[in-house]
Amino acid sequence: MKKPWAGRFKGKTSKIVESFTESISFDHRLWRHDVRGSIAHAKMLGKQGIIPKEDSEKIINGLRDIAHEIESGKFRFRKDLEDIHMNIEAALIKKIGDAGGKLHTARSRNDQVALDLRLYLRAETREILSLIKKFQKTLLNIATKHLNSLMPGYTHMQRAQPVLLSHHLLAYVEMLQRDIERLKDASKRINLLPLGSCAIAGTALPINRVYVAKLLGFEGISQNSIDAVSDRDFAIEFLSNTALLIMHLSRLAEELILWSAEEFRFIELPDAYTTGSSIMPQKKNPDVAELIRGKTGRVYGNLLSLLTVMKGLPLSYNRDLQEDKLPVFDTVDTVKSCLIILNEMLPVTGFNTKRMHKTAGNAYSTATDIAEYLVKKGTPFRKAHEITGKIVLYCIEKKKRFEDLTLKELNTFSNLITSDIYSCLKAEESVRNKKSLGGTSLDEVIKQIRRLRKTVSSK
C-alpha cells in the first residue's frame, strides 16, 4: 500500500525511518477503540450523505470483520504501515476495495488518535476505579475482622499512641476514596469527543459531531479544533492521579515490608507472595511489596515524561505526541497489576495481633493520656505536658513503666493525681477514650466502617 502522503513525494521512505517512526509495536492495543471510532465515523458519513450509504455499510461490515480477525489473532500488523490507524485502513481497503478509501473522509490521524486515546483512557479509568473499590472492600473486611486489635501508632517512625489496627487500615480506605474522586472528576475531561477537528482547522464537509458523540457515549464535544488535536491534558491528569494512587499503594507496601521484618513481627506474609534468597536459606523476602514500592518510581517517571514532551510544543499537532502512549500504557498496566496483586495478597496475610497488642502500650505511649488527665483536673495543657514529660524522664532513669509508679511517686509531680490515673495508663483505656470524631475508639471506628461501606457501595 502506498503511503497516505504518497502524492506529494517522489522518493520512498527510508526503511530506517519507517523503523524509527512506527508506533504499531505498541499502539496496536488501541485497535478496539480505533475500530469503534471508525464505525461511528462511517455511520455519520452515510447519515449525512457525505458518502453513499451502501459504502458506509460496506465500511462498517468490513471493520467488524477486521475486528474479528484481530480478536482471533489472525490479523498481521505491519510496521511499514506505521500505526494502528493505517494498518486497519489498509486492511479495510484490501477487503472492500475503493469504498474503504472513503472512511478517512473528514478525518485526520490527528483527531483520530486523540479519539482513540480518550476512548482507551475512559475504559481503563473505569476498570481502575473498579479495582480500587474492590481493594477498599478488602481493607474494610480486614478492618472489620480486627475491630478490637490494638497496635502502636507511629509518628516520626517512633511509637506515639495506641490505636486500633482497624483504624490504621481505614486510613488507606480514605486515601483510596480521594483517588476515586480525582479519577471520576478527571473522567469528565477525558469524555469529550475530539473527532471532527480533522488535522487542525475542522472541515468544510457537513459532518455531524453531535451524532458521533452520541454513538460513542461522549458527554461533550471539543470546542476548538486546534486545541482538540494537540491537547493531552487529559492524559497528563490521568498520569498525575494515578501517580497519587500508586503513592498510596507504595506507603502501604512500605508498612508491609516493615511489619514483616523480625524487628516488628506484626505480620506474616504468605509464602505464595514472597521469595527466598539464592544464598541465605532462612530468608523470606517481601518482594511483592518491594516491587510495588519500586514501580511507583516508574509511574512518577511516566508523568514527568509526558509533561516534558508537552512543555515546548507549539500549536497544534506535532509528531512528538506519538510519545504520549508508552507512558500512559505503562502506567495503566503497572497500576492495575499492583491493585490486583494487593487484592489477592492482603486477605491471606496473617496479622500477629498479640505482638501488636503487647507493643501498643510500650515506650510510654499513653503519656498524652496522662497530660489530658491533668487537663481534666484543671491544669493548663502546657503545664500538664511539662509535668508528664518529667514523669517520662523519671521512668526512663528508674527503668520503670508508668504502671509501676506508686501514687506517692506520682504525687511528687502533681498533687492533683489520684488513684483514678491508673486506668489512663492502659493502652486499651487510651484507645477507648479517643471518642472525638474520626478518632480511634471502637465506637468511632465502627461509624467509619459503616460510612465507608456505604460510600464504597455507591456508584
- 2: pLDDT confidence band, cut at 50, 70 and 90? low
In a domain, 213, yes or no: yes
Instruction: Clarify whether residues 164 and 303 are in a common domain.
Output: yes
Instruction: Clarify whether residues 233 and 140 are in a common domain.
Output: yes
Residues 30 and 122 sit within 8 Å (Cβ to Cβ):
no
Could you give the angle at the alpha carbon of 274 between the alpha carbons of 278 and 352, nearest 5°?
125
Instruction: Clarify whether residues 439 and 373 are in a common domain.
Output: yes
Q: Name the phi and psi angles at 285, rounded to 5.
A: -95, 140
Closest-CA residue to 346 (of 295, 286, 265): 286
In a domain, 397, yes or no: yes
Closest-CA residue to 24 (of 121, 123, 109): 109
Q: What is the pLDDT of residue 98?
A: 96
Instruction: Clarify whether residues 300 and 314 are in a common domain.
Output: yes
Instruction: Clarify whether residues 172 and 78 are in a common domain.
Output: no
CA distance 434 to 418: 21
Last residue of a domain, one of 83, 105, 127: 105
In a domain, 2, yes or no: no
CA distance 219 to 213: 7
Q: Name the phi and psi angles at 158, rounded to 5.
A: -115, 145
Residues 94 and 76 sit within 8 Å (Cβ to Cβ):
no
Instruction: Clarify whether residues 186 and 212 are in a common domain.
Output: yes
CATH number of domain containing 226: 1.20.200.10
In a domain, 6, yes or no: no
CA distance 265 to 357: 12
3-state secondary structure 268-312: ECCHHHCECCCCCCCCCECHHHHHHHHHHHHHHHHHHHHHHHHCC
Last residue of a domain, one of 73, 105, 137: 105
For 202, half-sphere exposure in the C-beta direction (CA atoms, 13 angstrom radius) is 11
Instruction: Clarify whether residues 98 and 120 are in a common domain.
Output: no
Instruction: Clarify whether residues 324 and 427 are in a common domain.
Output: no
Q: What is the pTM of this model?
A: 0.95
For the chain, what is the total number of helices (H) and then of strands (E)?
Answer: 18, 6
Residues 115 and 197 sit within 8 Å (Cβ to Cβ):
no
Residues 131 and 339 sit within 8 Å (Cβ to Cβ):
yes
- 16: pLDDT confidence band, cut at 50, 70 and 90? confident
Instruction: Clarify whether residues 226 and 322 are in a common domain.
Output: yes
Q: Could you read off the pLDDT of 401-430 as tens digits, one per residue? A: 999 999 999 999 999 999 999 999 999 999
CA distance 318 to 88: 22
Last residue of a domain, one of 60, 76, 105: 105
Q: Could you read off the pLDDT of 158-191 as tens digits, one per residue? A: 999 999 999 999 999 999 999 999 999 999 999 9
In a domain, 4, yes or no: no
Instruction: Clarify whether residues 204 and 269 are in a common domain.
Output: yes
CATH number of domain containing 45: 1.10.275.10
In a domain, 316, yes or no: yes
In a domain, 404, yes or no: yes
Range of the domain at 98: 13-105
Q: Does the annotation mark 166 as catalytic?
A: no
Q: How far is CA 206 from CA 111, 230, 299, 369, in A?
A: 17, 23, 42, 74
- Active-site residue identified among 156, 278, 419, 458: 156
CATH number of domain containing 379: 1.10.40.30
- 18: pLDDT confidence band, cut at 50, 70 and 90? confident
Instruction: Clarify whether residues 231 and 320 are in a common domain.
Output: yes
- 296: pLDDT confidence band, cut at 50, 70 and 90? very high
Q: What is the pLDDT of residue 17?
A: 82
Closest-CA residue to 309 (of 255, 417, 389, 230): 230
Instruction: Clarify whether residues 134 and 71 are in a common domain.
Output: no
In a domain, 7, yes or no: no
Domain count, the chain: 3
Express as a percent the part of the chain with pLDDT over 90: 94
Q: Could you read off the pLDDT of 83-132 as tens digits, one per residue? A: 999 999 999 999 999 999 999 999 999 999 999 999 999 999 999 999 99
Q: Could you read off the pLDDT of 308-346 as tens digits, one per residue? A: 999 999 999 999 999 999 999 999 999 999 999 999 999
Grid cell 479495510 — which residue? 92
Q: Does the annotation mark 156 as catalytic?
A: yes
Closest-CA residue to 398 (of 364, 429, 422): 364
Q: What is the pLDDT of residue 3?
A: 67
Q: Is the pLDDT of residue 437 over 80?
A: yes
- Active-site residue identified among 14, 25, 130, 277: 277
